[in-house]
Every structure is written in C-alpha cells, then in structure tokens.
Amino acid sequence: MFYYYGRKKQIAKHYPLPLYDVIVEPFAGAASYSLHGDNWRKEVVLIEKDKRVADIWQWLITEATPAAILALPNLHVGEKSSEFLHIVHAATKMAFKYKTIKVTPVLERNWEISKRVMASSLHKVRHWELIVGDYSIAPDIEATWFVDPPYKDAPGDGYAHGSNELDYPRLSQWILARRGQLICCEGQNGDYLPFLPLVTLPGVAGKLSIEKLYHRPTRHALQLDLFD
C-alpha cells in the first residue's frame, strides 16, 4: 500500500495462499501479504505497535479518498520534509530515526508511485480492522496468521520497535499457540522456529539476503505429522 522498509511486496507471491477467511498480521507494517492478489478480499486484522504507522493505516482505512491522495503535493529533489509518510518512502533502514529528511531522486520517485498505488487501492482496505499495540493483544481467533517480525539479530534494525525489543523464545511460544494457519517470516539468523529457506535476494553491496519461512497449514495438520 505504501513503501516500508522490509515490506514483502516483491516476494509475496512466494508465500502460501491463505486457507482461512480471516488474515491476521501481528506486525502489520505495509501489509503486503494481505494486499497481494485477492488476499485483501478476506477479513483482515492488522496489529501495529508503531503509532505513526498505525496512523497511516487509520487514515487509509477510514478517512482518505482517492482524490485527496492524488491531490497531495509532489516531492522535489533537494527540498526537505518532516512528514512521516514521506520519510518512510525514502527506501532506507534509517527512516524511523529521522525527524526530517532531504528529498532524493529515489524518494521523489517512490512518493509519486505510491500516491497512485494508495489512491487505486483504497477500496481494498475499507473493510479491514486495525488494532494499535503489541502483537500479543491480537485476537485469539482461528485464522491465517502472517507473522513478519523484525528479524532476529538483524544488523541496523530499520524499525522504531526493533529486534532488540523482542523476546524470541516468548514470540515462538505465542506463534505456535495460534489457531489456524501459520506463515512466519525470518532472515538467515532466525532459529526460534524450524524455518526453511524460501528465496535468496540481492542485498546491499552485492551481498545476498536469505528469506526463511515457517509454514504450518493448520494445527490439525501438525498433529497428524506428530503421530505419523
């Protein structure tokens, strides 16, 4: 819906399709999984701890109109902005650290594209629900759970609430206690669930980035595996 460091827009096609009528994203971010394909037609529940990101979602879900979004001023290289919605489009892991940012060609282009995307996608999110707070306050329901937390031991965390705030053993217990389908994302250092490689992506300075996945289709399927 909007640019966000670590979003899954480019690799959303690699994740399993949702098996339930409800999708819950406990670390919402830009909610690329819920927006992918026809996933958005499901009931979608977003949980977002960062109030600034939650405010963007609240505006998109309840207030914004396509005309109002398209009427937002364009950004021009060299000028400065302190608008958080502009700052997250800068395509930098440091975005959450900045209070003001200088517009680069990348930011100018990202903002121009994102305005069109947001305006054309508003109808997809009008029925979505937003909960502001920690992942642990997510409703205890049977659903497709798309869990995309800050990656464990990720250098230079690009979030206001990063990996240093997470208790990963506690998170893993919480994840496994969810009812329904589990789709959990991690990087190369993820070890608190039996993650498997999903895709390898080009990273910074020619380095490769490994995306990992833990998938439990249903709790019933897990029980069958245990007794086979």
The 10 Å CB-count burial string (b at 16+, else e) for 80-91 is ebeebbbbbbbe
pTM of the predicted structure, to 2 decimals: 0.88
Q: What does each C-alpha distance from 219 to 85, 142, 181, 223 come to in angstroms?
A: 38, 10, 7, 6
Mean pLDDT in residue range 156-161? 59
SS3 151: coil
The 10s digit of each residue's pLDDT in 131-158 is 999 999 999 999 999 999 988 876 555 5
Query: Under CATH, which number does the domain 19-67+126-227 receive?
Result: 3.40.50.150
pLDDT at 69 over 50: yes
**Six token digits for residue 220:** 């019933």
The 10s digit of each residue's pLDDT in 71-124 is 999 999 999 999 988 988 876 666 677 788 899 998 999 999 999 999 999 999
The 10s digit of each residue's pLDDT in 167-206 is 999 999 999 999 999 999 998 889 999 999 999 887 655 6
Q: Is 156 left (phi over 0), alpha (psi -120 to 50) or beta?
A: left
Task: Write down the domain spans for the chain.
Answer: 19-67+126-227
